Amino acid sequence: MSKQHSPGFLKIVNEARANIAECSVDVLKQNLDRQNHDRATRPVLIDVREESEFAAGHVPGSVHLSKGIIERDIESMFPDHASELYLLCGGGFRSALAADNLRRMGYTRVTSVNGGWSAWTSAGYPISKPQ
C-alpha cells in the first residue's frame, strides 16, 4: 500500500528536488559494489528513516542518522563537506529534504536515493535484519 502525502509536503519535496542530485537504487548499488574494494573512497550511505524503521531492516553498511537529527550530527560524523554521501529513506521524500539541507550546509556531493528503501527491497538487493 502506497502512502498518500499531503499537498504541502509534496510541494516542499519538489522544491528540494529542484536543488539536489538524485539517483536510482540501481545506480546506488553499482556505486557501492564498484567502490567496495576501497573503503577509503567508498561512498557513505546514510539512512534517514526513523530508528524503528532502521532497526527493522536496512541496507548493509549503511549509517543511521534520522532526518530529525542529521543536520545536528552530520558535521561531527562527516566533517569533510566533500564526502560522497547518499541519503536513503522509505521512498525518497525525506531523503530529498535532508539532502537539500545538507547542500545548504555546504556539502557538495550529496545524492538522494529515489524510491528509497521500498525500491531497494523491491529490487531484491541485500538487506540486514535483526536476528
User: 59-73, pLDDT tens digit by residue?
Assistant: 999 999 999 999 999
Q: The pTM is what?
A: 0.91
Whether 24 contacts 115, CB under 8 Å: yes
Express each pLDDT in 86-121 by its tens digit.
999 999 999 999 999 999 999 999 999 999 999 999
The C-alpha atoms of residue 55 and residue 46 are separated, in whole angstroms, by: 14
Q: How confident is the prediction for the chain on average, in pLDDT?
A: 93
- Kindly indicate the confidence band of residue 79, based on its pLDDT and cuts at 50, 70 and 90: very high
- Which comes out higher in pLDDT, residue 3 or 122? 122
pLDDT for residue 3: 73
The C-alpha atoms of residue 62 and residue 72 are separated, in whole angstroms, by: 18
- Kindly indicate the confidence band of residue 1, based on its pLDDT and cuts at 50, 70 and 90: very low
**Where are the domains positioned within the chain?**
20-122
Could you tell me what percent of the chain has a pLDDT over 90? 85
**CATH superfamily to which 20-122 belongs:** Rhodanese-like domain (3.40.250.10)
Span 12-31, average pLDDT? 96
Look-up of cell digits 524510491? 115
The C-alpha atoms of residue 112 and residue 86 are separated, in whole angstroms, by: 6
Burial of 44 (0-12, 13-18, 19+ CB in 10 A): middle
Query: What is the phi/psi pair of residue 127, to 5°?
Result: -135, 155
